[in-house]
């Protein structure tokens, strides 16, 4: 009986110790401390940029060519066809808005362009690269270095400052250098948040959080910037400001900018507009573009 009680007491103490040490809060705190340790030495040397901001690198310059892309999903009956022979091309520095109803295939196309999904058939080329011909490790490096993502929800880490959230993009490479920190600060300056670098997401407005997300997407100087409803959670004024910021920064870096949006006013600000209906992508009639541009100009702050 004494041995059984001893085993029971040891088991109870073990469960209590594990439960106290490996809670969700404790694990999140430990991960945060690891990240802070990575950036601590960088921050110690970067109290200010002393006027030596890191210039925006024009790492773009690649054309995007999408040819006859189909996407089908197997079902017990007929395959579910989401994309039907999508083809288009964009030169470096061009911007494209894709509009269309929910469920038409817009986000699926964006996921394929960002290599988060694979086409059933067809080709996607960025410059001289066919990402779907790459091995998994090479594809991960391609996605990290040459594609930037901005989503409707900013997806910032709540325990990290604005600057730390921007620098998260460099962790895929396993290190954060002094030069990286300088570029992160310069990007925050470009999006008008140079004085908010040390603030947590909870201390920023919705528009400010989305601007941090834009800076993070540009951290690795991608040649292709993909945005899925990036202004969907913003009011009209902030929506216009964030869209203009995306266009300006993509233009400065010579990157291709593609945005999926439900907003005709947002779409009218882009070089090109394509409409997605039932998986088919087509040009928006010019008269419709001009009409939307007039509306967009009328609401501009």
Q: What is the pLDDT of residues 162-197, one digit of tens each?
A: 999 999 888 767 778 889 899 999 999 988 899 999
Cβ within 8 Å of residue 144, ≥6 positions away: 169, 172, 173, 220
Distance, in Å, from the CA atom of 199 to the CA atom of 22, rounded to the nearest integer, reads: 28
Query: pLDDT category, 12, cuts 50, 70, 90?
Result: low
Closest CA to 64 of 125, 119, 113, 117: 125
Query: Quick one: pLDDT at residue 14?
Result: 53
What integer is the mean pLDDT of 155-168? 91
Of 15, 13, 33, 35, whose CA–CA distance to 23 is shortest?
15
Q: Taking Cα atoms as reference points, which of 88, 128, 129 lies closest to residue 110?
A: 88
Instruction: Spell out the domain ranges in the chain.
Output: 2-44, 64-299
pLDDT of residue 36: 46
> Percent of the chain beyond pLDDT 70?
73
Pairing type for strands 272-277 and 280-283 reads antiparallel
Q: What are phi and psi of 160, to 5 degrees?
A: -110, 150
Superfamily, domain 64-299: P-loop containing nucleotide triphosphate hydrolases (3.40.50.300)
What pLDDT does 291 receive?
52
Of 228, 285, 292, the residue nearest 257 (C-alpha)? 228
84-to-67, 99, 119, 256, 267 alpha-carbon distances in Å: 11, 16, 11, 23, 22
Q: How far apart are CA 203 and CA 103, in angstroms?
A: 35
Q: Is 18 left (phi over 0), alpha (psi -120 to 50) or beta?
A: alpha
Separation CA 203–CA 201 (nearest Å): 5
| pTM (global) more than 0.75 | no
- DSSP for residue 192: T
- Cα(278)–Cα(276) distance, integer angstroms: 7
Are 163 and 184 in contact by the 8 Å Cβ rule? The answer is yes
Q: Which of 201-205, 234-238, 280-284 has the highest mean pLDDT?
A: 201-205
**pLDDT beyond 60 at 9:** yes
Sole residue written with tokens 């250098």: 177
To 5 degrees, how large is the angle CA 91–CA 94–CA 95? 135
Better-predicted residue by pLDDT, 93 or 4: 93
Phi, psi (rounded to 5 degrees) for 143: -65, -40
**Please, which pLDDT band fits residue 3 given cuts at 50, 70 and 90?**
low
Q: Are 264 and 236 in contact (CB under 8 A)?
A: no
Looking at residue 52, its pLDDT comes to 34
């Amino acid at each position: 009986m004494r041995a059984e009680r001893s085993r029971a007491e040891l088991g109870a103490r073990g469960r209590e110790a594990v439960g106290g040490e490996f809670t969700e809060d404790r694990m999140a705190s430990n991960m945060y401390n690891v990240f802070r340790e990575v950036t601590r030495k960088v921050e110690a040397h970067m109290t200010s940029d002393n006027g030596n901001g890191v210039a925006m690198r024009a790492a773009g310059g690649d054309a995007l060519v999408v040819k006859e892309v189909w996407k089908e999903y197997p079902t017990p009956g007929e395959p579910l066809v989401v994309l039907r022979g999508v083809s288009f091309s964009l030169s470096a520095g061009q911007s494209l808005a894709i509009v269309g109803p929910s469920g038409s295939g817009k986000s699926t196309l964006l996921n394929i362009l960002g290599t988060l999904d694979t086409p059933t058939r067809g080709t996607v080329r960025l410059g001289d690269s066919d990402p779907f011909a790459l091995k998994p490790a090479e594809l991960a490096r391609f996605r990290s270095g040459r594609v930037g993502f901005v989503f409707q929800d900013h997806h910032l880490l709540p325990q990290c400052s604005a600057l730390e959230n921007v620098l998260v993009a460099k962790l895929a490479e396993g290190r954060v250098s002094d030069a990286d920190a300088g570029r992160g600060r310069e990007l925050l300056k470009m999006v008008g948040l140079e004085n908010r670098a040390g603030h947590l997401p909870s201390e920023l407005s919705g528009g400010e959080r989305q601007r941090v997300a834009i800076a993070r997407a540009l951290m690795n100087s991608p040649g292709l910037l993909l945005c899925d409803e990036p202004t969907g959670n913003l009011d009209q004024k902030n929506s216009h400001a964030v869209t203009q910021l995306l266009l300006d920064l993509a233009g400065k870096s010579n990157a291709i900018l593609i945005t999926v949006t439900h907003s005709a006013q947002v779409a009218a600000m882009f070089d090109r507009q394509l409409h997605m209906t039932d998986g088919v992508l087509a040009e928006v009639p010019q008269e419709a573009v001009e009409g939307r541009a007039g509306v967009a100009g009328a609401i501009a702050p």
